[in-house]
Amino acid sequence: MSGIGTPYENMATDEALFDAACTSGVPVLRFYGWTPATASLGFAQRASEALDFTEMDRRHVAWVRRPTGGRAVLHDMEVTYSVSVPQSDPLYALGLEASYEWICGPIVAALLAVGVSAALAPHGSTGFVSASCFTAPGTTDIVAGHRKIVGSAQMRTRDGFLQHGSIILKNDLEKLFAVVRTSQPNVHDAARQAAQLMTSVSDEAHRAVSFGEMADTLVSAFSAAEGVRLLPDSLTAREALNAADIVPRKYGREDWNAFR
């Protein structure tokens, strides 16, 4: 668990840990949060088509481009997870869909433990047209009562894969659709329709679930998964140096974040 970081630090740390996992052959699991609230773009999205920069400036929302695919996500009241898996690990050999499902298993268990009736999304889930990931539930997502509660994305190379996702503690749909573009005529219509497609941990548990409680429950759920032995750890000096070097040459640069 690495606490709360800036969008640029968060993405650089995920990349540094992915590099370390591929080199060492040891998978890495990380949980973290964001400051300030941040819209992250999927790797292939066009920034100008996905985000309303005027509204983002007004609301003091930052933005960054993820190394993984998918659509835009507003990272605010959530726990974000990342899993870095080297090519030598059996999880890599499972392939894209099966590895998604395996990683989502402990997340579903953690949601159940805090009082959320969650399950993997059924095949054929649909949403509405939007630049937002959470308006288009897919077969690799987690739902509660047929509404999306966890969205995930994965990046694969020949050396391994990085998967990360958002476990939403509380939604602010007005803020989401003020900064992320949608086909709906206005923010209020988009938020009203999205409320039928999206939910949050606190809404489903009918109580406030904190970052700390959710993160601790996730650690316990992954620890209980078959074949997993979690060892608490922190960034090594080399990993911290690598992350610090990545920020100014990649995620902290507007030309990187807006290159598409």
The phi, psi pair for 6, rounded to 5°, reads -75, 160
Residue 170 carries which side chain, given as an amino acid letter? K
How large is the average pLDDT for residues 95-100? 93
Query: pLDDT per residue over 45-96, tens digit each?
Result: 999 899 999 999 999 999 999 999 888 899 999 999 999 999 999 999 999 9
Range of the domain at 195: 3-257
Residue 37 pLDDT grade (very low, low, confident, very high; cuts 50, 70, 90): very high
At 142, is the pLDDT very low, low, confident or very high (cuts 50, 70, 90)? very high
Q: Which of helix, strand or coil describes residue 155? A: strand
Write b or e for each residue in 211-238: b if 16 or more Cβ atoms lie within 10 A of its Cβ, otherwise e. Answer: bebbbebbbebbeeeeeeeeeeeebeee
The CB density around residue 245, as the number of other CB atoms within 10 Å, is: 12
**CB neighbours of 203 closer than 8 A, spacing ≥ 6?**
170, 171
How big is the chain, counted in residues? 260
Pair of tokens at residue 237? 């000096």
Give the CATH number of the domain where residue 131 resides.
3.30.930.10
Percent of the chain at pLDDT exceeding 90:
74
Per-residue pLDDT of 185-218, as tens digits, reads 678 888 888 889 999 999 999 999 999 999 999 9
How much is the pLDDT for 259?
Answer: 73
> For residue 72, what is the DSSP state?
B
pLDDT tier at 128, thresholds 50, 70, 90: very low
pLDDT of residue 191: 85
User: What one-character-per-residue DSSP string does 25-63 give?
Assistant: ---EEEEEEESS-EEEE-TT--HHHHB-HHHHHHHT-EE
Active site residues: 133
Q: Quote the number of domains for the chain.
A: 1
In sequence order, the 6+-apart residues with CB closer than 8 A to the CB of 5 are: 13, 32, 33, 34, 35
- Collect all residues with Cβ–Cβ distance below 8 Å to 223 and sequence separation of at least 6: 229, 230
What average pLDDT is seen over the chain?
90
Q: How far apart, in whole angstroms, are the C-alpha atoms of residue 23 and residue 11? A: 19
